[in-house]
Amino acid sequence: MDKLNLKADVRKVVGRKVSKLRQEGLLPANIFGKKVKSQAIAVKLDDFLTVYKKAGETSLITLTVGTDDKAVLVANVQVSPITDKPIHVDFHQVDLKEKVTADVPIEMTGESPAEKLSVGTVVQYIDEIEVEALPTDLPDKLVVNISKLAEVDQAIYVKDLDLDTKKVEVKVSPDEIVIKVEPPQKEEVVAPPPAAETPVEGETPVVPVEGETPAAPAEGDKKPEEKK
């Protein structure tokens, strides 16, 4: 991947006043890290979106604050529930010689014969996996080819992922399922509602009063139409 660069300015505006920065197209942010003093900054929102689309949370970004270049990872992005746009971001400044942990996204590729022939349904159990590595060794993403999944219950496990285990340590169980072919889901058949009983022509249906049980006719009583 090409080197990713992002410019930032020191931010003196804090608290609720940062809303004015957002109106000007700026994104409030903070830099933090081990043995690093937290620093309030602001970046152009459009520039951040362009870089973040390529970097995600696993690719190094060179963040330039004034004349100082910092190697950072995007650690946390707060998004507005109304506009769905970032309203704040935290950058983790890293030491290139020290390992860090990160969640690497998992992406499926190819076509499963089981799904193509309607034998089963491919289900992705986990979307990302936690790993530990030097910042420069973090994979951008893990691509999993599902073209060999031809039968129900076939699965791809964490231990099957294409990783350089000498550089990248997986922090979850190697036997955890990543993707599996499940039996095809049966369509639920909804029974039609029972047909309403059609009253006999000329007969008035008796509607019981709520909470009252209709009395049973006494033995020997005749229906009105039977009396002479």
Q: What averages of pLDDT result for each successive group of 10 residues across the chain (228 residues)?
A: 89 90 95 93 97 94 95 96 95 96 95 94 96 95 96 96 94 96 76 64 55 52 50
| Residue 207: per-residue pLDDT | 52
Q: Is residue 206 part of a domain?
A: no
Asked whether residue 197 is domain-assigned, the answer is: no
Residue 196 lies in a domain: no
Determine, yes or no, domain membership for 141.
Answer: yes
Asked whether residue 173 is domain-assigned, the answer is yes
pTM: 0.73
Distance CA 50, CA 6 (A): 10
Which of residues 95, 112, 128 is at a domain's end? 95
| pLDDT computed for residue 70 by the predictor | 96
Expressed as residue numbers, the domain containing 117 is: 101-182
170 belongs to a structural domain? yes
Q: Which two tokens stand for residue 131?
A: 């790993």
Same domain, 41 and 74: yes
What is the reported pLDDT for 14? 87
Residues 85, 124, single domain; the answer is no
Residue 61 and residue 86 in one domain: yes
CA-CA-CA-CA dihedral for 31, 7, 50, 142, to nearest 10: -50
* Residue-level pLDDT at 26: 96
Together in a domain, 127 and 76: no
Rounded Cα gap, residues 55 and 43, in angstroms: 16
Residue 36 maps to which CATH number?
2.40.240.10
Distances in whole angstroms, Cα of residue 118 to Cα of each of 147, 150, 151, 177, 185: 14, 10, 10, 21, 10
pLDDT the model gives residue 190:
64
| Inside any domain, residue 190 | no
Residues 77 and 113 in one domain: no
Instruction: Give dist(CA 111, CA 220) in Å, integer.
Output: 77
* Residues 114 and 174 grouped into a single domain: yes
Q: Are 96 and 124 within 8 A, CB to CB?
A: no
Whole-angstrom distance, CA of residue 29 vs CA of residue 8 = 9
68 plus 130 within the same structural domain:
no
Identify whether residues 123 and 171 lie together within a single domain: yes
Is residue 69 situated within a structural domain?
yes
Contact 86, 79 (CB under 8 A): yes
For residue 55, the 8-state DSSP code is H
Same domain, 90 and 106: no
Q: For the chain, how many structural domains are there in total?
A: 2
* Alpha helices (H) in the chain, listed in sequence order: 18-23, 45-55, 113-116
34 within 8 A of 49, measured Cβ to Cβ: no
Supply 5's token pair: 């660069």
Instruction: Supply the pLDDT for residue 35.
Output: 87
The residue among 190, 155, 163, 159 whose CA lies nearest residue 172 is 159
